[in-house]
Structure 1
Amino acid sequence: MIDWSWILENWLPIGLLLADHVQLVTLGLCSGMLVAGLMVLLTLWKPALARPMIYLSGILFTIPSLALFILIMPFTGLSKTTSVIGLSLYALLIILQNTLAGLASNPAHILEEARALGYTRIQCFLGVELPLALPALLAGLRTTSVTLVGLVTVTALIGQGGLGQLFITGLAQSFTTPVVVSLILTVLLAFCFDYLFYSIDKFLIRWVR
């Protein structure tokens, strides 16, 4: 049974927790994308690094979320920084793997033509390879964003969980309404991020369709 009066009385705190949830997902996604981008640039310098970096990202992804946050806490404490670092590490695998897969699937003849036209390695990457790999990159960001929406909820256990705070409050008080609100808003937020990247993909990658 949902207590609608409780929701009306607490709409502002709920809205602030929702905004905090969005902020954590966005920061984790952007930080993960930045680190993954640097790792991709390293593979341009030394392609043999690609597989070890994917393995390392895969190992980080398999660490239970709460355990990872606890490992980071001695360095950053019970702070938003702890949450963002953990979320960024979880974002690495999907973004890196999709980007490298997209780059690897680029047609060889197009790359040869770019080199024949005098493109340098960086010019070829930025002007030819990356645009061609954009669909794979956006697919990775789309999947990662939805994954992070769920993972942010876990950070409530270290006091930084956005909508996860409602879940913990409801369980602690044996009160169903905050739990239901947390679940519904988390699912809706995941759909919003998914639709956002779907829309970006549809707008930017028109030549793919």
Structure 2
Amino acid sequence: MIDWRWIADNQSMILGLSWQHAQMVLYSLFFGTLLTALFLLIILRWPKTAQPIVSFCGVLFTIPSLALFILLIPFTGLSVTTSVTGLTLYSLLILLSNVLAGMEKLPADVLESGRALGYTRIYRFIDVEFYLILPAVISGLRIASVTLVGLVTVTSLIGQGGLGQLLLAGFNQDFLTPIYVSLLLSLVLSFIFDFVIARTGQWITLWNN
């Protein structure tokens, strides 16, 4: 059974942890997007680096989350920085893969027109290709955000974790209410992130709807 009195007595803490959870997802998405943009610039300049970079991101993604956070602790300590760094690294494969998949589906005639107009590789991407792959970018952000909402809870094992702290406390105390609250609010956050990113994507790609 759910202890509603406990929820009422701890609503400030629950809201605070929910906000911390959302912030960690936002920070990770922001830095993940910046790193993805950097990798993309490298790939545009040196196309043969695409596979090694994607493979590198894939290796990072396969490292167990707790193990990755532990590996980062000697450098960044038991801090939000450790959590956000690890989460950012996990977002790279999702974001970069979606961008590259979008680029692979670009119409050949559009690319040829860009070449005929004398665009340089990077300028063609900025002026033409980027707008065409925006749906793929938005899709990557949606998947990454939902994935990160779940991964944030793991960082509770290093003293962070937002709603994951409720999950850990519930297990340690054999008390189900914090566990239910954590799971429910994590689902709500996933829905909110997915909805906001999807609607934002629809707004900035009206020409594609």
**TM-score bracket for the superposition, by shorter chain length:** over 0.9
Deviation by residue 1:76-103 (Cα, 9 ceiling, x = unmatched)? 0100000011000000001001101111
TM-score normalised by the chain length of structure 2: 0.97
CA deviations on 1:39-59 (whole Å, 9 max, x unpaired) are 010011100000111111111
* Residues 162-177 of structure 1 aligned to structure 2 (within 5 Å): 162-177=162-177
Q: Where does residue 40 of structure 1 map in the other structure?
A: 40
| Aligned equivalent of 2:2 | 2
Amino acid in the other structure paired with 1:44: L
The aligned counterpart of 2:82 is 82
One-letter amino acid matched to 2:94: I
Alpha-carbon distance between aligned partners in 2 of 1:170 and 1:132, rounded to the nearest angstrom: 46
Match of 1:22 in 2: 22
- Could you tell me which residue of structure 1 aligns to residue 105 of structure 2? 105
**CA displacement 1:100-129 (0-9 Å, x = unmatched):** 111121112112212322323232111101
Match of 2:191 in 1: 191
What do you get for the CA RMSD once the two structures are aligned? 1.0
CA contact 2:135–2:201 (8 Å) conserved in 1:
yes
- Give 1:32-181 correspondences, 5 Å limit: 32-181=32-181
The alignment's TM-score, normalised by the length of structure 1, stands at 0.97
1:8 Cα deviation from its structure 2 partner:
0.7
Q: What is the rounded CA distance, in whole Å, between the counterparts of 2:146 and 2:195 in structure 1? A: 10
Quick one: percent identity of the two aligned structures?
A: 54
Amino acid at match of 2:121: R
SS of residue matched to 2:162: coil
Taking the aligned partners of 1:53 and 1:97, their CA distance within structure 2 comes to 10
Q: Deviations over 1:139-181 (max 9, x none)?
A: 0010000000000000000011000000111111111111110
Moved over 6 A (4+): none
Q: Gaps spanning 5+ residues in structure 1: where?
A: none
| In structure 1, distance between residues paired with 2:32 and 2:123 | 24
Structure 2: how far apart are the matches of 1:183 and 1:44? Answer: 41
